[in-house]
Amino acid sequence: MLADDEAKRDEIVAKLKSVNIPTMVYYPAPLHMLEVFQDVNNYSEAFHNALSYCQRTFSLPMHPYLTEAEQQHVINCVTSQI
């Protein structure tokens, strides 16, 4: 899921958490900014969208055991926050 900005993402995540819908931010920083790559000349300016994406994205529950009712609940909660 992609929010408008980091503040909106944090707001949506907090509201989903309050109704027991788990979320996860898997990439809080772009890969080229990780410590493991600090000594690599990675031309960060070539990845100008990466930081914005990492600040706005989060994951919703997704697995084969979600019932249709659970899926609809997640959908309703997310769309009411957008």
User: 35-53 pLDDT, tens per residue?
Assistant: 888 888 876 677 889 999 9
pTM for this model (two decimals): 0.81
Q: How confident is the model at residue 82 (pLDDT cuts 50, 70, 90)?
A: low
Residue 45: other Cβ atoms inside 10 A: 6
Convert the pLDDT of each residue in 50-72 to its tens digit: 999 999 999 999 999 999 999 99
**What backbone phi and psi angles, to 5 degrees, belong to 47?**
-115, 45
How high is the pLDDT of residue 48? Answer: 80
What single-letter DSSP state applies at residue 70?
A: H
Whether residue 59 contacts residue 26, with contact meaning beta carbons closer than 8 Å, is answered with yes
CATH of domain 6-79: 3.90.1150.10
- Residue extents of the structural domains in the chain: 6-79
Q: Is 69 helix (H, G, I), strand (E, B) or coil?
A: helix
